[in-house]
Amino acid sequence: MDELSGDEEAILRFLRIQLLQQASYAQVAHHDRYLRAEMQHDADAIRAVLERLADRGYVERRNGRFARDGARTYAYRLTEAGEEALRDAM
């Protein structure tokens, strides 16, 4: 396993505590004060981190309507590889 950046680790920890271990990038960006303060990035930057994590198999992309306005977006779900990467990072 490759090493996680601080931002990647923070996002994986956030997903771990979510119901069903999944959240949309908007939820990651806007709904957790601690994570927002820790990351200091906008939603586009957070989505880019989530996409990198998905490309590496640490999170799974899931299609659906997760935004209030009904816009189609991805939700990202923590995978076993993501759980293992978090354990290795600690």
User: pLDDT tens digit string along 1-46?
Assistant: 578 888 888 888 888 887 667 777 767 766 666 566 556 566 677 7
- pLDDT score recorded for residue 63: 73
Fold of 6-89: Arc Repressor Mutant, subunit A (1.10.10)
Nearest 5°: CA angle at 72, between 4 and 15?
Answer: 30
Whether residue 65 is predicted with pLDDT greater than 70 in this model: the reply is: no
Q: How far is CA 67 from CA 24, 55, 70, 85, in A?
A: 8, 23, 5, 28
Domain ranges (residues) in the chain: 6-89
Whether residue 85 is predicted with pLDDT greater than 80 in this model: the reply is: yes
Whether residue 66 is predicted with pLDDT greater than 60 in this model: the reply is: no
| Separation CA 33–CA 29 (nearest Å) | 9
Q: Please state whether the predicted TM-score (pTM) of the whole model is above 0.85.
A: no
- pLDDT score recorded for residue 40: 58
